[in-house]
Amino acid sequence: MSESRHSDWDPRSESVQADQVDAYDAMRRRCPVAFSDYLQWSLFRHADVMRVLEDHETFSNAASRHLSVPNAMDPPEHTRFRRLIEPYFGPEAMVEFAPTCRAIAEGVVDQLPDDGEVEAMTEMGQGFALEIQCAFMGWPTRLHEPLRAWVKRQQAATLAGDREALGELALEFDGVIRELLASRRDAGDAAPDDVTTRIMNERVEGRALTDEEIVSILRNWTVGELGTISASIGILMRYLAANPELQARLRAERRLLPAAIDEILRLDAPLMSNRRITTCPVEIGGRRLEAGERLTLLWGSANRDEAVFGDPDEVCLDRDPKDNLLYGAGIHVCPGAPLARMELKDFMEALLDATDDIAPLPGCPAVRARYPAGGYSEVPLHIRR
């Protein structure tokens, strides 16, 4: 048995859910490796999270009950699939997609009112995430609205903890992908030369990918991105609205945008956590864990650790980027980071180009998202163009 099975905290309590960032800051100081029935062992400190990320032999990524390529795999299997997918986010692929990315960012921003209210999450974040992800995958625009409705239902089921509904939604999304695969196979040589078709034709260890592997890869590239990109847009727009001095500086010095984006998303995480499972007995943060224990790595806490970042709420534009765990670290560092960075930079540049001012909407504060989501569920703002 593990050293302790009593709950050190309740991640689902109203006090935690009302402001996850504040609650995690407090836990990091009080009980940096904490047990709960809901998340099992939660790691709050940067050093402990880095130890897990750098020791994949002790802390396995194979923590999912379902096939997840390559997210829930360990070497050597992970290595083979990682080698296959990395070129899709390499320099050449990013150069090829850059004009489309910029055009979509400008098109979404053009929908802003000249002088009025906007809800940044639904009107900007979700719309941009849907359009940009479908374009990258080569999916038809007719899927935008069905996917928007699917995301809404998926978020509701997640918040309700409705496992049955989540299972049905997962099958529904997989069905969308399988229909896209079938249409390309029916088209034969006339199938579009896009990311989805290319993945279908990939081989690993000399064999063709199974449909289950293809669906898993495409699901990971879409479902995760729809959530994190939209959350990132909401976080960034809210932060600039609440910090007019930084907003003015970024309007004047666009070269600072990449560093500012990474810093703002460091202190307010769009992706709150990730999972691991122990392969052998281990001690971490003064707690003893046995083999088979489940861990939750809380990015939303580790990236605010005072031992590494000093004042966690300070945006430092010349900070050493190696400490920022926004895209993870180690062998499982997010392969899609170059795409995400380009998408967010293009969106923020288009936003600053098209507006004169982004401000909070008086009397309408932003509403924090609830776990497992990060960021906000509502970000009401006033825009002036």
Helix/strand/coil for 315: coil
Tell me the Ramachandran region of residue 31: left when phi exceeds 0, alpha when psi lies from -120 to 50, beta otherwise: beta
User: Which alpha helices (H) appear in 74-162, and where do they start and end?
Assistant: 77-85, 91-109, 127-137, 144-160
Report pTM.
Answer: 0.95
Task: Kindly report the number of other CB atoms within 10 A of residue 237's CB atom.
Answer: 25
User: Position 117: which residue type?
Assistant: E
C-alpha to C-alpha distance for 201 and 193, rounded to whole angstroms:
11
- How many CA within 13 A on the CB side of residue 61? 24
d(CA 160, CA 156): 6
- The pLDDT score that the predictor gives to residue 223 is 85
Instruction: Go through the domains of the chain in sequence order and give each one's CATH number.
Output: 14-384 (1.10.630.10)
- State how far the Cα of 325 lies from the Cα of 300, in Å rounded to an integer: 9
Nearest to 297 by CA among 277, 274, 278: 274
Tokens representing residue 367 in the block: 């509403």
In tens digits, the chain (385 residues) has pLDDT values of 455 478 999 999 999 999 999 999 999 999 999 999 999 999 999 999 999 999 999 999 999 888 899 999 999 999 999 999 999 999 999 999 999 999 999 999 999 999 999 999 989 999 999 999 999 999 999 998 899 888 889 888 877 778 888 889 889 999 999 999 999 999 999 999 999 999 999 999 999 999 999 999 999 999 888 889 999 999 999 999 999 999 999 999 999 999 999 999 999 999 999 999 999 999 999 999 999 999 999 999 999 999 999 999 999 999 999 999 999 999 999 999 999 999 999 999 999 999 999 999 999 999 999 998 999 999 999 999 9
Label the pairing between strands 294-298 and 40-43. parallel
Task: Assess contact for 177 and 215: CB atoms under 8 A.
Answer: yes
